[in-house]
Amino acid sequence: MCKRKVILVQQRHKKSESSGKAADHIKVVVRVRPFLEHEDPSQSSVAVPQPDRGALPSTLKEDVYQQVRECVEAAISGTNVSIFAYGQTNAGKTYTMMGPPSYSYSSRAIHQKTVEEDFAEKNLPLRGVIPRFLTELLASTRRDDMDVKIEASFLQVYNERVLDLLAETGGKQQQQKALELRSGDRGVGEIQVVGNVKKSISSLSDVFDILQQGVKQRKVCETSHNEQSSRSHTILQLMLTVTSRGGGDLEQTSSSLSSRTSKISLVDLAGSERWSQSADRKEAVTKTHREEMSNINRSLTTLGRVVKLLSEGKHVGLPFRESKLTRLLQAGRL
């Protein structure tokens, strides 16, 4: 199976510690968010070594999306695709992936109208990568020469527990049972999530419903950096099956049909955070917050190791099993 992934590395105005050039099948797009009102521009600088594409704070979301839109056709052609936003806490990852917090990932109840507005023409400049990708995917697969099936699951990894964002919890999310991961039977590295909800997507209305339900259940909390800080990694996974019809005859034979499948992972990672940052701001680090920080940083470290090894052309002995996040992304080799 072919693989392609795009890493949207979100940067605050701080020095990047990453280095090295990504392999051809890994594309890195760096976006720097503007300064916030309380931040002092004179105390920060930007240093990014050799990304595939850089984006200044003034860069529009449309320009950022243009760097990853090639993944739509790649997925339709049968290529596994992963797009994920990586960066420090409060770097703007969720804003880039979903859009403004007023109608994206929020702990507040989200009404259907607000999600629909995210896709509305008047708000096109504000849409994030995920709604743009899904809109274009649906438009690109409405063709007479192919039959398309899209099945979606929406997961979060919270404290190394895989939880279903589409499961009906009855308001008792804390009691939700963690999902089990098993090795699949489709090939090496294939991982199956046992017992999660899968929903078919055939229209933007289906997309609205999935995003609306998922964003309400994501783990967030207030930190010194962010009023709505993501405390979990969210993964919107799509299984895309495309059956191409050849010849144009009314009666198709099995030999004239060509079917291909691909997995699409759209990932909004929780932000990395240093212990010293909380201490410097005199933030009361609770036991829960401490556990969240530890698990987030550990999983991001594992993710970084895997990406580094893949970029060096290594495909054996990768530490996928050291984190639930990397295990979920293993089938597409991230």
Residue with tokens 């507005």: 117
pLDDT range class, residue 211, cuts 50, 70, 90: confident
* Per-residue confidence (pLDDT) for residue 77, from 0 to 100: 92
pLDDT range class, residue 246, cuts 50, 70, 90: low
* Per-residue confidence (pLDDT) for residue 285, from 0 to 100: 64
* Per-residue confidence (pLDDT) for residue 110, from 0 to 100: 41
* Per-residue confidence (pLDDT) for residue 286, from 0 to 100: 79
Average pLDDT over residues 289-310: 92
227-237 pLDDT tens trace: 556 789 999 99
Residue 61 has pLDDT above 60, yes or no: yes
151-191 pLDDT tens trace: 999 999 999 999 999 998 765 555 688 999 998 766 556 78
| Paired tokens of 56 | 């200044």
* Per-residue confidence (pLDDT) for residue 296, from 0 to 100: 94
Predicted structure pTM score: 0.79
Contacts of residue 138, Cβ cutoff 8 Å, sequence gap at least 6: 150, 201, 202, 203, 204, 207
pLDDT range class, residue 16, cuts 50, 70, 90: very low
* Per-residue confidence (pLDDT) for residue 32, from 0 to 100: 72
The highest-confidence range among 9-23, 37-51, 187-201, by mean pLDDT, is 187-201
Q: Is 87 annotated as a binding residue?
A: yes
**44 close to 21: Cβ distance less than 8 angstroms:** no
Q: Is 90 annotated as a binding residue?
A: yes
Using DSSP bridges, classify how beta strands 146-158 and 199-201 pair: parallel, antiparallel or unpaired.
antiparallel
Residue 215 has pLDDT above 80, yes or no: yes
Q: Is 171 annotated as a binding residue?
A: no
* Per-residue confidence (pLDDT) for residue 17, from 0 to 100: 39
Q: Is 175 annotated as a binding residue?
A: no
- Which has more pLDDT, 86 or 197? 197
Q: Which of 94-98, 132-136, 168-172 shows the lowest per-residue confidence on average (mean pLDDT)?
A: 168-172
User: Domains (ranges, CATH) in the chain?
Assistant: 3-328 (3.40.850.10)
- Partnered with residue 15 across adjacent β-strands are 47
- What is the residue-averaged pLDDT of the chain? 76
> Maximum distance among all alpha carbons in the chain?
71
* Per-residue confidence (pLDDT) for residue 64, from 0 to 100: 79
Distance between CA atoms of residues 52 and 31, nearest Å: 11
Beta strands per DSSP E along the chain: 3-11, 26-32, 53-55, 80-87, 146-158, 161-164, 180-183, 191-194, 199-201, 220-221, 229-230, 233-245, 257-268
Distance between CA atoms of residues 215 and 166, nearest Å: 10
Residue 268 has pLDDT above 70, yes or no: yes
Strand, helix or coil for residue 240: strand
Average pLDDT over residues 196-203: 94
What is the per-residue DSSP string for 245-309?
E-S--SS--GGGEEEEEEEEEEEEPPPB--HHHHHHTT----HHHHHHHHHHHHHHHHHHHHHHH
